[in-house]
Amino acid sequence: MPCSTPDITDTLRYDRPTIVLHWTTAFLVLLQFALGETWNWPAKPVHHLMVVAHLTVGILLTVIMAFRIVWRLTKGRHLSDLLRPVDRVCALGAEYTLYVLLLAEILLGYLWRWGAGQTMSFFGLLIPSPFARFPAETVTWLHTLHEWNAWLIMGFATGHGAAALFHQFVLKDKVLGRMLPQCFLFRQ
């Protein structure tokens, strides 16, 4: 006999700050990835503007992730207790993996930039490196890790999105509706 999955959309929706932080993070991560993968295509000054935008968005993402973690540990809504154990383990595993990968990506970005002796830029405000310049091999290694980790994030985020769509359209348990803003809820 198949397990029935309860409709947990309305009574156990995530709170508004959690939803806003989730979708803001998703947007910033996609923007970061797009900028990082395409900034070598155009010539200067567009290339430079894309790099500066990437740095600025990286600093914004740092703040969002810090706020997101504090919110999650204090007031933010957590996963529903109505989820089946296997769904709960998979969801928490994906969530924690994405958090770790995002925090590692942020750290690698700062270390790569500052280790190369360059400043970070936040809307034109220059933030100098607190470190002495790293050896060239270390900077290259940090850059490589930053790029590979970005691809890992995109892979896990794609899997996360696919799982949400699977729940919505195949299992029809409305899990996706918990994280969608009220105005985007699917009509039944």
Give the per-residue pLDDT at 80. Answer: 64
Phi and psi angles of residue 131, each rounded to the nearest 5 degrees, phi first: -115, 160
Instruction: Tell which residue, 83, 100, 98, has the closest CA to residue 159.
Output: 98
Give the per-residue pLDDT at 184. Answer: 65
pLDDT tens for the 188 residues of the chain, in order = 344 444 444 457 788 898 999 999 999 999 999 999 999 999 889 999 999 999 999 999 999 999 999 998 888 776 666 667 887 788 889 889 999 999 999 999 999 999 999 999 999 899 999 999 999 999 999 999 999 999 999 999 999 999 889 988 998 887 788 888 877 655 54
103 token code pair = 């925090």
Cα–Cα–Cα angle for 78, 83, 87, rounded to 5 degrees: 100
pTM to 2 decimal places: 0.86
Give the per-residue pLDDT at 11. Answer: 52
Question: Could you tell me whether strands 120-122 and 125-127 are parallel, antiparallel, or unpaired per DSSP bridges?
Answer: antiparallel
C-alpha distances (whole Å) from 5 to each of 89, 103, 162, 170, 175 are 16, 33, 18, 11, 10
Q: Looking at domain 14-178, does it have CATH number 1.10.260.40?
A: no
Give the per-residue pLDDT at 109. Answer: 97
